[in-house]
Amino acid sequence: MTLDFSVVADAWKSLLFGALGTLFLAFSGMVIAMVVGVTGVVILRMQMRIPSLLVTLFVEIIRNTPFLVQIFFLFFALPLAGVRLNPTVTAILALGLNGGAYAIEIIRGGVESIPKGQTEAGLALGLHKHEVFRLIVLIPALRAIYPSLASQFILLTLTTAICTSISAYELTSVGQRIEAETFRSFEVYFTLTSIYLVISLVTMWLLAALGRWAFSYPQR
Amino acid sequence: MGIQELTYLLQGLLWTLFLTVIGFVGGILFGIVVAVLRVSPSPWLRIPMICWIGVFQGTPLLMQLFVAYFGLPLLGFNFPAWAAVSVALTAHASAFLGEIWRGAIQAVPSGQSEAANALGLPGWSRMVDVVMPQAFKLSLPATVGFLVQLLKGTSLAAIVGFIELTRAGTIVSNQIYKPLLVFGVVGALYCAMCWPLSLWGRRLEQRMAAGAAK
Amino acid sequence: MREIDVTRTHDSASRAFPKEAAPMIEMRQVEKFYGPFHALKGIDFSVTKGEKIVLCGPSGSGKSTLIRCINHLEPIASGEIVVAGHRLSDSQDAVDAVRREVGMVFQQFNLFPHKTVLENCILAPMRVRKLSRAEAEETARKYLERVRIGDQAAKYPAQLSGGQQQRVAIARALCMEPKAMLFDEPTSALDPEMVKEVLDTMVSLARDGMTMICVTHEMGFARQVADRVIFMADGEIVEENAPDAFFSNPRHERSRAFLGEILAHH
């Protein structure tokens, strides 16, 4: 058994761009996920029967099927619906919808975790509803859900690897191309794994630092 | 989609269940070890477990499958594909379950250990008779939640080339050119397995929240 | 003040206010439902300027609901509420006008955890009364001083004791310079040793002539400052009496039973 990492080292440039692709996928996916999440929670809070049911159905379907099946479905469904997107954009959309279902649950929990008394105190002081939300509810709610959103972001980053199945541009598909050229499967995947580990450790650390900076008021 | 294709999908489904069971059972066995070592007072036991958990939680499951699939033969094991996948899933599950149970063990109020010590119970009895049963109950919702994750995770074996439910779906879809129908059915089959588990997990969680509120 | 003392021992039906004292808060035939549950049944009462009312009654009797209707935290089904000349309705303008006149103190303090004590106090004056930051801070410091907590202005709520938090909540409400104050069980969530500091603050507020409605079971406080005690049960005002008369010789059977319960615990 001989391991030869030199062929992988030679490809460092492609790997670097692949890693950037992964970060781009994760970040864009998370942005869409947040939009989906906030929209979903707003719909649920309107308490209308049919729209709420649809949101719940969406959440349950996404949470109870593998991402791989979701991305395949989207990959084949979009062209049939007349939407032609390149694989990377399709992947971002799939990541956004998947992450969005989890974001709905997280955000709903966060808003519900703020005691009703906070809103009432704001109203009693004469503030309007939108001011109460913006000035009083928003920051504690964000703080309450920040750790969950941060780990959701890490999870989404790791999920991007699956996007190789539709040949989206990201680290794993770059790695698979190197593997196909060099036949050094183990070396390639070991390197990829290490890069993912570094990405998630650094991201975790950055997100924790960001959280400490943004929500520095003392806990109750 | 005829009866033949459906049978093929159901065969894949059996493999999905098989992988899930192996991963889960293996994960439980090794996960207990991970959890117990993780809460050990000795850093020589604790730190390797922190790393073990960190590596599996910080890398994609897909990479873990690939590394096991290509790495195990290099170590001289001549495993069939399902065994390599099972090893990866087991290791993956041991890290996640270990971390879930670590949290649960530490969530048992310290007064319980103190009471056990005050009664003169030996260390193992304190763990087995007092702490673990309570931790088990606390961890149940998260454990069920992870079971759903694991079941969905077995779909990644498809990318390694192993024919379970998702891979069977891809093959059937390529044969009959009806990807939406096929992946719709595949999704529905996953839902049929995962949804009851999710509901059960949520019910456990609610019951626990209600119990905590009392 | 003595004149009112004479009249207030009578039943609400025969109650007569001196002509010159316009009611600060007036409720007429107020009805309130939660689904099928009839929470307030034909509530009729009024509070003159400078009066201190203690509302008591068993839990679920509607006393908290009643004061929460006054500043429209709970909308009413029918009836009329007039606060400092503003007739309350569901329109935002009417609600705004009323909320500007009455301050409220809650059982759970409800300070905003992400804002310092000072920021808690200047938020509404700046947003609602449109004061400049300097003006708002000046007012805030005055009232924080008044509740004897001026030195804690830069701290966050989580760094204060419960009693201190409740005093900040009182100061925060006072910063809006309200004409009346509503207290919803202000000492119920406090550790026993902190009850006194909050009650002392409320007593001093009462001495300065603030119009107050307090939902509380602190009978010592009721005896000391209340002009009237109102006893509620099942969404109705059962008895309205002077504190001395209420405690020594309650007219209604339910009041007697309630006082028996309360006094047994003290």
Q: Do C157 and A123 touch (CB under 8 A)?
A: no
Residues 6+ apart with CB under 8 A from B56: B64, B91, B92, B94, B95, B96
Q: Do A125 and C173 touch (CB under 8 A)?
A: yes
Q: Is the pLDDT of residue B81 over 90?
A: no
Q: Is the pLDDT of residue A165 over 80?
A: yes
Burial of A203 (0-12, 13-18, 19+ CB in 10 A): middle
**Domains of chain A, first to last:** 22-171 (1.10.3720.10)
Dig out the tokens for C252 from the structure: 């209604």
Using beta carbons and an 8 Å cutoff, which residues of A are at the interface with C?
115, 117-118, 120-128, 131, 135-136, 139-140, 143, 215, 217-220
Report residue A138's pLDDT band, with 50, 70 and 90 as the boundaries.
confident
CA B183, CA C45: separation in Å to the nearest integer? 68
Q: Give me the percent of chain C exceeding a pLDDT of 90.
A: 77
Using the Cβ of B158 and the Cβ atoms of chain A, whether some distance falls under 8 Å is answered with yes
Dihedral of CA A123/A125/A128/A134: which sign?
negative
Q: Is the pLDDT of residue A140 over 60?
A: yes
Closest residue in A to B157 (Cα–Cα): A68
- Enumerate neighbours of B (3 or more CB pairs within 8 A): A
- Helix, strand, coil percentages in chain B from 3-state DSSP, rounded to 5: 85, 0, 15
ipTM confidence: 0.92
Q: How close B138 gets to chain A, by Cα (Å)? A: 19
Q: How close C181 gets to chain A, by Cα (Å)? A: 11
Q: How close A75 gets to chain B, by Cα (Å)? A: 9
Q: Pick from A77, A185, A197: which is nearest to B70 by CB?
A: A185
Q: Do C73 and A217 touch (CB under 8 A)?
A: no
Q: What is the pLDDT of residues B118-173, one digit of tens each?
A: 888 888 888 888 888 899 999 999 999 999 999 999 999 998 888 999 999 999 99
- Enumerate neighbours of A (3 or more CB pairs within 8 A): B, C
Closest residue in A to B159 (Cα–Cα): A165
DSSP for residue C106 = -
Dig out the tokens for B189 from the structure: 């089959």
A83-87, C14-18, C46-50: the lowest-pLDDT one: C14-18
CA C205, CA A201: separation in Å to the nearest integer? 56
Q: How close C80 gets to chain A, by Cα (Å)? A: 19
Using the Cβ of B54 and the Cβ atoms of chain A, whether some distance falls under 8 Å is answered with yes
Q: Is the pLDDT of residue B92 over 50?
A: yes
Q: What one-letter code names the amino acid at A43?
A: I
Using the Cβ of B71 and the Cβ atoms of chain A, whether some distance falls under 8 Å is answered with yes
Contact C78, C31 (CB under 8 A): yes
What residues of chain A lie within 8 A of the CB of C106, using their CB? 117, 120-121, 124
Can you say how many angstroms the Cα of residue C116 is from the centroid of all Cα atoms in its chain? Answer: 24
Q: Which CA distances in Å does C174 have to B165, C139, C169?
A: 67, 9, 9
Q: What is the pLDDT of residues B98-124, one digit of tens each?
A: 999 999 999 988 888 888 888 888 888
Total CB pairs under 8 A between chain A and B: 116
Using the Cβ of B141 and the Cβ atoms of chain A, whether some distance falls under 8 Å is answered with no
CA B152, CA A130: separation in Å to the nearest integer? 40
pTM of the full predicted structure?
0.81
Q: In whole angstroms, how large is the CA radius of gyration of chain C?
A: 18
Contact C148, C105 (CB under 8 A): no
Q: Pick from A63, A161, A162: which is nearest to B198 by CB?
A: A63
pLDDT of residue C181: 96
Q: Pick from B75, B76, B191: which is nearest to A64 by CB?
A: B191
What residues of chain A lie within 8 A of the CB of C73, using their CB? 120, 123-124
Q: For residue B189, what are the domain limits?
A: 3-213
Q: Which of A32, A166, A176, A2 is nearest to A98 (CA)?
A: A32
Averaged pLDDT for residues C184-205: 93
Q: What is the pLDDT of residues A51-69, one digit of tens each?
A: 999 999 999 999 999 999 9
Q: Which of residues 160-189 of A touch B (CB under 8 A)?
A: 160-162, 164-165, 172, 185-186, 189
pLDDT of residue B208: 84
Q: Is the pLDDT of residue C266 over 90?
A: no
Strand order in the sheet with C23-34: C37-48, C23-34, C78-83, C86-87
Q: Pick from A65, A80, A185: which is nearest to B187 by CB?
A: A65
Contact A40, A98 (CB under 8 A): no
Q: What is the CATH number of the domain that holds B147?
A: 1.10.3720.10
Q: Is the pLDDT of residue B90 over 70?
A: yes
CA A132, CA A119: separation in Å to the nearest integer? 6
Q: Is the pLDDT of residue C17 over 60?
A: no
Using beta carbons and an 8 Å cutoff, which residues of C are at the interface with A?
71, 73, 92, 96, 99-100, 102-104, 106, 108, 110-115, 123-124, 127-128, 156-159, 169, 172-173, 176
pLDDT of residue B169: 93
- Contacts of B179-185 with C-beta under 8 Å, sequence gap 24+, read B179/A72, B179/A73, B179/A76, B180/A73, B180/A76, B180/A77, B180/A80, B181/B1, B182/B1, B182/B5, B182/B9, B183/A69, B183/A72, B183/A73, B183/A76, B184/A73, B185/B1, B185/B6, B185/B9
Contact B116, B166 (CB under 8 A): no
What residues of chain B lie within 8 A of the CB of A178, using their CB? none
Burial of A49 (0-12, 13-18, 19+ CB in 10 A): exposed
Q: Do A125 and C172 touch (CB under 8 A)?
A: yes
Q: Do B60 and A190 touch (CB under 8 A)?
A: no
- Enumerate neighbours of C (3 or more CB pairs within 8 A): A
Q: Look over chain C and give the mean of its residue pLDDT values, rounded to a whole number.
A: 88
CA B184, CA A101: separation in Å to the nearest integer? 18
Q: How close A130 gets to chain B, by Cα (Å)? A: 31
pLDDT of residue A9: 85
Closest residue in C to A141 (Cα–Cα): C114
CB atoms inside a 10 Å sphere around CB A184: 19
Which residue of B63, B65, B173 is the best one to mutate when testing the A interface, meaning the one whose CB has the most A CBs within 10 A? B63
Report residue A220's pLDDT band, with 50, 70 and 90 as the boundaries.
low
Q: Do A128 and C92 touch (CB under 8 A)?
A: yes
How many domains is chain B built from? 1
Report residue C6's pLDDT band, with 50, 70 and 90 as the boundaries.
very low
Q: Do A61 and B191 touch (CB under 8 A)?
A: yes
Using the Cβ of B46 and the Cβ atoms of chain A, whether some distance falls under 8 Å is answered with no
Q: Which of C97, C172, C178 is nearest to C136 (CA)?
A: C172
* C228-233/C236-241 β-pairing: antiparallel
Dig out the tokens for B149 from the structure: 């994750």
- Helix, strand, coil percentages in chain A from 3-state DSSP, rounded to 5: 85, 0, 15
What residues of chain A lie within 8 A of the CB of C113, using their CB? 140, 217, 219-220
Q: Which of C97, C40, C68 is nearest to C89 (CA)?
A: C97
Q: Is the pLDDT of residue C108 over 80?
A: yes
Closest residue in A to B153 (Cα–Cα): A66
CB atoms inside a 10 Å sphere around CB B140: 18
Q: Pick from C71, C108, C156: which is nearest to A218 by CB?
A: C156
pLDDT of residue C21: 60
Report residue C265's pLDDT band, with 50, 70 and 90 as the boundaries.
low
CA A26, CA C239: separation in Å to the nearest integer? 66
